[in-house]
Amino acid sequence: KNQVEQSPQSLIILEGKNCTLQCNYTVSPFSNLRWYKQDTGRGPVSLTIMTFSENTKSNGRYTATLDADTKQSSLHITASQLSDSASYICVVSDSGGGADGLTFGKGTHLIIQP
Amino acid sequence: NAGVTQTPKFQVLKTGQSMTLQCAQDMNHEYMSWYRQDPGMGLRLIHYSVGAGITDQGEVPNGYNVSRSTTEDFPLRLLSAAPSQTSVYFCASSYFADQPQHFGDGTRLSIL
């Protein structure tokens, strides 16, 4: 069965510090990996999408990495801000590409303290 | 540009009642999906559609019905509400199948 595991479950850091969130997956075959940010009480918003050939992709202070050989991804947040407090969800798509081919992680709950 | 709009935002139902959760998108997206989000679990797919007139079941379809008569709208119907259906429901859409989805802000549903 396809699985996406995220770690840590929750994380608290001080404003201005950096942090890295992890995503390990066993989805096969692989099409792409997506990171979403979900603010409390809101729907998820796409941060990045990475295909097999992409190792790194940035979106402002967010940088995602992908190692398709070890089936691992990370999301690095630089110089954290209070607005980064949210849940971050890793989603992996199989080669089918449709909604039924998406496997969602449970998310990492990130709290930025002033 | 409204994106994906879900109504209502909150709803309380009694066991056995029925209701329809509304979802509308103004981006001309072909692909639309319904998910439920429960504490400690990832988003789970209920039903999805690849275009007007075409729907299919996801991982947890029991107790729910959908229809897709237009590209814009994808309502989710609870036939006879049960406490196990207490959850936050999200609608999502995308133009292509293998593209990040746009999500609505959810409907928070409590079944008493």
Q: How far is residue A74 CA from its own chain's centroid?
A: 7
For chain B, the 3-state helix, strand and coil shares in percent, each to the nearest 5, are 5, 50, 45
For every residue of B31-78, which 3-state class applies, written as one string?
Answer: EEEEEEECCCCCCEEEEEEEECCEEEECCCCCCEEECCCCCCECCEEE
Chain B residue with Cα closest to A102? B45
Residue A98: predicted pLDDT: 81
Total residues belonging to chain B: 112
Residue B63: predicted pLDDT: 96
Residue B21: predicted pLDDT: 98
| A49: contact with B, CB 8 A cutoff | yes
Residue A95: predicted pLDDT: 76
List CB contacts (< 8 A) between B92 and chain A.
Answer: 43, 99
Sign of CA dihedral B50, A94, A88, B88: positive
Inter-chain residue contact B45 with A99, CB threshold 8 Å = yes
| B34: contact with A, CB 8 A cutoff | no
pLDDT, tens only, B28-43: 999 999 999 999 888 9
pLDDT above 80 for A88: yes
pLDDT, tens only, A8-67: 999 999 999 999 999 999 988 999 999 999 999 999 999 999 998 999 999 999 999 999
Total residues belonging to chain A: 114
| B50: contact with A, CB 8 A cutoff | yes
Inter-chain residue contact B106 with A44, CB threshold 8 Å = no
Residue B3: predicted pLDDT: 95
Residue B97: predicted pLDDT: 83
| A1: contact with B, CB 8 A cutoff | no
pLDDT, tens only, B56-108: 999 999 999 999 999 999 999 999 999 999 999 999 999 988 889 999 999 99
Alpha carbon distance B34, B4 (integer Å):
12
Alpha carbon distance B32, B21 (integer Å):
14
Q: How far is residue A101 CA from its own chain's centroid?
A: 17
Alpha carbon distance A109, A12 (integer Å):
9
Short-list A21, A25, A24, A26, CA closest to A10 = A21
Tokens representing B83 are 């406490």
Q: How far is residue B88 CA from its own chain's centroid?
A: 10
* pLDDT band with cut points at 50, 70 and 90 for residue B1: low
| B56: contact with A, CB 8 A cutoff | yes
